[in-house]
Structure 1
Amino acid sequence: MTSGQAAPAAETQLKTRENPHSKGMAPLVLGSIGVVYGDIGTSPLYAMKESLLHVGGVPSASEIIGIVSLLVWSLIFVVTVKYVMLVLRADNQGEGGALSLMALAQKALAKPNRIIMGLGIVGAALFYGDAILTPAVSVLSAVEGLKVAAPGLDPYIVPIALAVIIALYAVQSFGTSLVARFFGPIMSVWFIALALIGLSHIGDAPQILHALNPINGFWFMTSHGIVGFTVLGSVFLAVTGAEALYADMGHFGKRPIQFAWLGFVGPALLLNYLGQGAFALHDPAVLPNLFFLSAPDWARVPLVILATMATIIAGQAVITGAFSLTQQAIQLGLLPRLQIEYTSETEQGQIYLPTVNWLMLIGVVLLVLFFQDSSSLAAAYGIAVTGTMVVTSLLAVVVFAYGWKWGLGLAVAVVTPFLLIDLAYLAANLLKLADGGYLPLVIGGCIVVLMAVWVRGVRLLNTKAAQQNLSLETFIKAMETSSVSRVAGTAMYLTSTPETVPSALLHNLKHNRVLHERNVIVTIRTENTPYVPLAERIDYRELAPGFARIALHYGFLEEPNLVQALIQLRETGVKFDVMSTTFFVGRRRIRSAARSEMPRWQSQLFIKMARHSYDMIDYYRIPANRVVELGTYVTL
């Protein structure tokens, strides 16, 4: 039995999430330019160069035009039509991303579905692979511009990139609010620079405008055999940030994201790719350093600095995305509890997860040390994103068909063209497996295993508890005629199976031989929505004299806080004095059973994850000086 330190004051005020969409259209558009488009905005650094180099030798004029056509129409069809015009409409109370779409699909089917959950897990797991590769390839691409501006610095490219990356992860614990103020203006300057560079070169070879005809891209794909397919894997690098449009929707809203793309970001990227293509037509010798050589001599050093800042922002976007995704996964029961630090007193979405942060840093550093240059890293890039896009398309079919009431036929007809393109990109990127493309799959596979084992282990534990523990209804009836001593005060017992007697209650009765005058069974539920209105937060029921049940409902992006919930409950007339309440928490010690329903390696992995799970008292914000922990052994 242990107790903690001083609790927060009972008068802690209820926090409500500030509506980010109430700040006016202009700030939201500017913010989306800085955060949402950080990843896709840095793709001109490497997408065009890698696509042209994969042709082999010096590409002909028709080949350059064909490749630029593929880049242009990939942006138009995948980003503009699929994501900006269609997928952004599939919002879950304004939120997007793989897990939000999974929750939306589950809601549309009106019942849990393992296939839908499996797709959500795969999409989330692949995002982690992308989140590790993005900072590595982006920062290296930007710093490599020093080779053009100052060739003598070539041996220091990797150390400089590592210094930038380490600094980026080291400052995460301070929060992103201060830095985020500069994201929009910096990325706006970046996109203006992209557009100006592109415009300055289109006149070098006006025939590049033939790339606006999609037939040229189709010709290249159909006339170059396996080479055309290989190049398609590099062309995909131009749209690798498209998934961020959907994942970051909750921060800015779909209309600002749409306005930013259609009116500013999209045109800037199209102009830059057309300009790079024209420059390559004019002087094919510039291909190895196409982007930086396309800038005037006087602008190359400033461009390297600006590109490095842009790639830091791109890296920041996927880091914060990984934090948010992990929080969602924890709330949805896909991962064990991890330490979550809130870095802002006013913005609930600004969080920091130390474990995730440092694991990502280790992964990024190892990638940079192993691959050494952006071209090698680009070979590993793409598989994770294409996999996530395929998952998005499959889940979208369910949402369109059953959530929007389109019917299965219409949903399949609308999504199939996009799914075929996603699968083509995925197949093209799978050709990179031997060149490092296996890395995001290995990372994603490990995450899938961790999530699957955790979900299965928790389900087996809950099933065993429901089978072995006494029914709460039976227990309450037995206590009505029992002579057990009653003590003053309130006892609250946290449990995930409210229909049965919490093990902590049984242990308290067994060892202390007393019951409190008031016994409350508390269960915390996570819903398939990002946020739950305060009016629907609490379900309070009196079960019998001296017994009550509280079910707390939270969205998968919300912070569970027991004290705040009790304050809210008190405002409805149900009196709870936190300082006269004892919170009983069961501390389960899990052991492998001789005959487990899980393979031994899975049960051992689950036990290790459970042991490293973040403390329930801190996670649910329970007053530590009012807690009594009671341990018990459980076999799995």
Structure 2
Amino acid sequence: MSAPQTHDPKKLAGVIVGAIGVVYGDIGTSPLYTLKECFTGHVDLTLNAFNIMGILSLIFWGLMLVVSLKYVAIILRCDNRGEGGILALLALAMRHVGSDSRRAHWIIGLGIFGAALFYGDSIITPAISVLSALEGISVVSNTLEPYILPIAIMVMVALFAMQSRGTALVGKLFGPVMVTWFVVLAVLGIVNIMKAPAVLGSVNPIYAIQFFMAHPALSFVLLGAVVLCLTGAEALYADMGHFGRPAIRYAWFILVLPALLLNYYGQGALLITHPEAIKNPFYYLAPSWAQIPLVVLATMATVIASQAVISGAFSVTRQAIQLGFCPRMDIQHTSEREMGQIYVPGINWFLLVSVIALILAFRSSSNLAAAYGFAVTCTMVMTTLLAFVVMGRQVSGAKKVGLFAVLGFLLVIDFAFFSANVLKLHEGGWFPLLIGLIAFTLMMTWKRGRQLLAVKLREGEMPLAGFVESLESSPPQRVEGLSIFMTANADTVPHALLHNLKHNKVLHEQVVFMTIQTDDIPFVPNRERVTIRRMGESFYQIVATFGFKEEPNIPTVLQQVTQLQPELVFDDMNTSFFLSRETIVEAKYPSMSWWRRRLFSLMSRNATRVTNFFRIPPNRVVEMGMQIEL
């Protein structure tokens, strides 16, 4: 499955509208709080024309350099067969450097930590977005202010509760609502710019430079607030596979970027002429009669922004499972047509509880702004570092020098924003860091545990080909039916087969050895999915390959095998699956520290059963237990 590419203007327009609805929800709602936080946040900045022009210049050049240049012009070129996102970029990088070198371990650490931080972002984004939208109620009437938190919690519960029903129906509304949102942003901005058109002069970078020279220490700290205008930039890359590079670029330059800039300049013009509007400059852009409809529209836009990161958390989880960094989890499809629409119950309810706790703990968008930004800027740094590895192999000579110079310049900007957010750790930035560290520890522990487990399982294993020959020459008692032995290693004898022969002393008439493996590409074409090898009169080997954005489905694989190998008929009543189930126990000389071993054992016990994950009929499964010392 590749990104949609079309030259039909009508179809392209539809894809662009869809991209506006899904990709730009997060960055599109940043005008709700960015400029306000620059002046009323945790930094004492005087509200005057000089500082307003300086902040607007920083916002303008941040959007142009980080989003337009880095993501839209450069990073979107790093596609993994049309797919984007930090895990897709990690898979590309690993293809270039291998998997065993010290450099590879650092690259894996960078990529997985960036992905882990996404969970922190997935918790903060719904909380700050919806709170900032509903805080417009207090602009309408101060008497309604006590209802902001209860309404925000109700919106969150409704949003997460609908995830199991799928987002197809709501998704049809995403594009038109967000197009309306950006048009309203632009109109509100233009109306207010006309009252103080001089603010447009802040496109000149000299205003940002003068601002830095006048407030060197203060301006650096303020980058932690300015970066709020960039939150959601990573979504441009992560959602490339859904809409394609052209649609994302057109949407950005034709509508999203102009609307954002006009609104920020409109807020700046409003603050120059009416400084008292700093309480909530976004809502004061609108006349009093339009503020209630604006609150409703803003709430809808922030719900859409929240939906995008929730769906993103589900996708990142599925990719992590397929790449071997996360234990098997229950993944449900919510659409018969769109394979990308999935629901992960465990992740969904974890996010809901975390979001509600965050709302109750921080209580306002201003307090949450201190926590927002760390995860985003850290992921930006990781993406740029991985881009060095991937794009460095795509060009050579003078082009490579030029590319590295540009990426180096962008990396300096990323580090500047990241460093400013490090200063906010004690004010709330610790929260996404904590979530990221927990997720990173879980993912790396699972990966390491599975690697050690694979080494233990390979100890003393026999070559499969020679073992099959011995079974053919001296067969045990054969019984009717077909048996499928699931094995991770296609070259050695499955432990389940050895245990079956040892305890049951029988073998079915037909025996299939099946291995499911994951490739470093997002989707594997059906014609390349299955490889079948006949190993004897009644023995077959099947290797099924899936991409890291796909879910293994053994019944579908068996249907394809029957088409390719007609003599293999997988009748439900005559087919048995044999699996090994490992129990982790402490070794005399442990290969993992005690806490990581217990953590890995806990994750292993609570992982979704193989039968559910691979869609195997549970009443046809025989599990052979074994203890593994780690």
Task: Provide TM-score, normalisation by structure 1.
Answer: 0.95
Q: Compute the displacement of 1:405 (Å).
A: 5.3
Contact 2:333 2:341 in 1 (8 A): yes
Q: Distance in 1 between matches of 2:396 and 2:88?
A: 19
Q: 1:269 to 1:256 in 2, by over 3 A?
A: same
Q: In the alignment, what sits opposite 1:38?
A: 25
Report SS of the residue matched to 2:184.
Answer: helix
Say which of 480, 490, 510 aligns to 2:482: 490
Q: Compute the displacement of 1:607 (Å).
A: 0.4
Q: Compute the displacement of 1:408 (Å).
A: 6.0
Letter in 2 for 1:128: Y
Q: Does 1:104 align with 2:111?
A: no
- Unaligned 5+ residue runs, structure 2? none
Letter in 1 for 2:125: T
Report SS of the residue matched to 1:596.
Answer: coil
Q: In the alignment, what sits opposite 2:69?
A: 81
Q: Distance in 2 between matches of 1:575 and 1:45?
A: 64
Q: Distance in 2 between matches of 1:147 and 1:211?
A: 31
Q: Compute the displacement of 1:18 (Å).
A: 8.7
Mapping of 1:350-429 within 5 angstroms?
350-404=341-395, 409-429=401-421
Q: Compute the displacement of 1:570 (Å).
A: 1.9
Q: In the alignment, what sits opposite 1:6?
A: none
Q: In the alignment, what sits opposite 2:528?
A: 536
Contact 2:3 2:243 in 1 (8 A): no
Q: Distance in 1 between matches of 2:457 and 2:365?
A: 52
Contact 1:143 1:308 in 2 (8 A): yes
Say which of 201, 222, 228 aligns to 1:231: 222
Q: Does 1:504 align with 2:492?
A: no
Report SS of the residue matched to 1:313.
Answer: helix
Q: In the alignment, what sits opposite 1:289?
A: 280
Q: Does 1:131 align with 2:122?
A: yes
**CA-to-partner distance for each residue in 1:486-534, whole Å, 9 max, x for gaps?**
2233211111122222111111111110122322211111110000111
Contact 1:108 1:403 in 2 (8 A): no
Letter in 2 for 1:526: T
Contact 2:81 2:522 in 1 (8 A): yes
Q: In the alignment, what sits opposite 1:12?
A: none
**CA-to-partner distance for each residue in 1:338-396, whole Å, 9 max, x for gaps?**
00000001110000000000001111111101000000000000000001000110110
Say which of 330, 333, 339 aligns to 2:324: 333
- Unaligned 5+ residue runs, structure 1? 1-16
Higher alpha-carbon deviation: 365-374 or 502-511? 502-511
Q: In the alignment, what sits opposite 2:51?
A: 63
Q: Distance in 1 between matches of 2:2 and 2:264?
A: 39
Mapping of 1:100-179 within 5 angstroms?
100-109=88-97, 113-179=104-170
Mapping of 1:305-344 within 5 angstroms?
305-344=296-335
Q: Distance in 2 between matches of 1:574 and 1:198?
A: 67
Letter in 2 for 1:617: T
Say which of 49, 68, 84 aligns to 2:36: 49
Q: Does 1:242 align with 2:230?
A: no
Mapping of 1:558-577 within 5 angstroms?
558-577=550-569
Q: Compute the displacement of 1:111 (Å).
A: 5.0
Report SS of the residue matched to 2:188.
Answer: helix
Q: In the alignment, what sits opposite 1:608?
A: 602
Q: In the alignment, what sits opposite 1:93?
A: 81
Letter in 2 for 1:591: V
Q: In the alignment, what sits opposite 1:13?
A: none
Higher alpha-carbon deviation: 204-213 or 324-333? 204-213
Q: Does 1:545 align with 2:537?
A: yes
Mapping of 1:210-289 within 5 angstroms?
210-289=201-280
Contact 2:25 2:301 in 1 (8 A): yes
Q: In the alignment, what sits opposite 2:432?
A: 440
Q: In the alignment, what sits opposite 1:460?
A: 452
**CA-to-partner distance for each residue in 1:194-237, whole Å, 9 max, x for gaps?**
10110011122222112110111122123202210111110000
Letter in 2 for 1:191: F
Q: In the alignment, what sits opposite 2:13?
A: 26
Q: 1:265 to 1:375 in 2, by over 3 A?
A: same
Q: Distance in 1 between matches of 2:578 and 2:188?
A: 65
Higher alpha-carbon deviation: 480-489 or 433-442? 480-489
**CA-to-partner distance for each residue in 1:446-474, whole Å, 9 max, x for gaps?**
01100110000000000011113333234
Q: Distance in 2 between matches of 1:573 and 1:117?
A: 39
Q: Distance in 1 between matches of 2:612 and 2:155?
A: 33
Higher alpha-carbon deviation: 245-254 or 615-624? 615-624
Say which of 608, 616, 626 aligns to 1:622: 616
Q: Distance in 1 between matches of 2:412 and 2:476?
A: 68
Q: Compute the displacement of 1:409 (Å).
A: 4.1
Q: In the alignment, what sits opposite 1:8?
A: none
Q: Compute the displacement of 1:403 (Å).
A: 4.1
Q: In the alignment, what sits opposite 1:631?
A: 625
Contact 1:105 1:403 in 2 (8 A): no
Q: Compute the displacement of 1:305 (Å).
A: 0.6
Q: Distance in 2 between matches of 1:140 and 1:476?
A: 64
Contact 1:592 1:604 in 2 (8 A): no
Q: In the alignment, what sits opposite 1:185?
A: 176
Q: Distance in 1 between matches of 2:92 and 2:376?
A: 21
What is the aligned length? 620
Q: Distance in 1 between matches of 2:592 and 2:97?
A: 29
Q: Does 1:599 align with 2:586?
A: no
Q: 1:442 to 1:413 in 2, by over 3 A?
A: same
Contact 1:465 1:497 in 2 (8 A): no
Report SS of the residue matched to 1:488.
Answer: strand
Q: Compute the displacement of 1:110 (Å).
A: 5.1
Q: Distance in 1 between matches of 2:355 and 2:340?
A: 24
Higher alpha-carbon deviation: 469-478 or 134-143? 469-478
Task: Provide TM-score, normalisation by structure 2.
Answer: 0.96
